[in-house]
A = this chain, B = another copy of it.
Amino acid sequence: MRVFVPFDTRDPKSRLSSVLDSSEREQFAHVMLGDVLDVLQRAGHDPTVLATAPLDCSCSVRVDERPLSKAVNDILDESTLPIGVVMADLPLLTVDSVEHLVDQSGDVVIAPGLGGGTNCLVIRTPEFRVDYHGASFLDHRRQATKAGVDISVVDSFRLAVDIDDPEDLLELLLHGDNDAAGWLSNAGFSVDESGEQPTLSLSGDRQ
């Protein structure tokens, strides 16, 4: 299946700015993107990066600088369905979790993100339109109901954890074993297990 992976090249992962500087955030975002593309390919899919600017990448790249929903809805108009849309900041993605997503029946399959976003979609009907603004999980579910489209929700922790805020990095360190987790360890992040609950620990020169 053709899977589009949105990637915003402008100030990526800005909510991590309290723990990573601008150049590090750019590197980290690219490493996560690489992990996602690698998993999608190993799961037998054909990823295309949907980027806001040209990008050096081994996969095909489609450049569209408009807001994401517009860009994806245009793709829906011109594509043979099904297509997938999988976010670039899902470094816990595995081949199994991608298969779990794609194996679900339904005109639309959605994997919610923590906090009410939409991390992954499989779209099998032209009746569906995306809207990534705001509480997109609720919006997508309501929109599907309104359009009489059968939507199924995937229950997956690995698809739900998107990396937005520093606390998300803890999940990556706890459960990741790919390049993004390695990058983060090399950058001086680790899990502090000394307290009642594990916390994110930064090496001395980062504090």
Contact = CB atoms under 8 A, between A and B. Distances in A.
Interface string A188-207: 00010111111000000000
Number of copies: 2
Interface size class of A (residues with CB under 8 A): 20 to 34
Nearest to A157: B160
Interface stretch (A79-87, A121-129, A131-139, A178-186): A131-139
Nearest to A174: B116
A155 B97 contact: yes
Nearest to A168: B114
Interface in A101-127: 112, 114-117
B191 A135 contact: yes
A134 B96 contact: no
A116 B195 CA distance: 12
A135 B97 contact: no
29 contacts: A97-B155, A100-B155, A112-B174, A114-B114, A114-B171, A115-B170, A115-B197, A115-B198, A116-B191, A116-B197, A116-B198, A134-B193, A134-B194, A134-B195, A134-B197, A134-B198, A135-B174, A135-B193, A135-B197, A135-B198, A137-B174, A138-B174, A138-B191, A155-B156, A155-B158, A156-B156, A157-B157, A157-B159, A160-B160
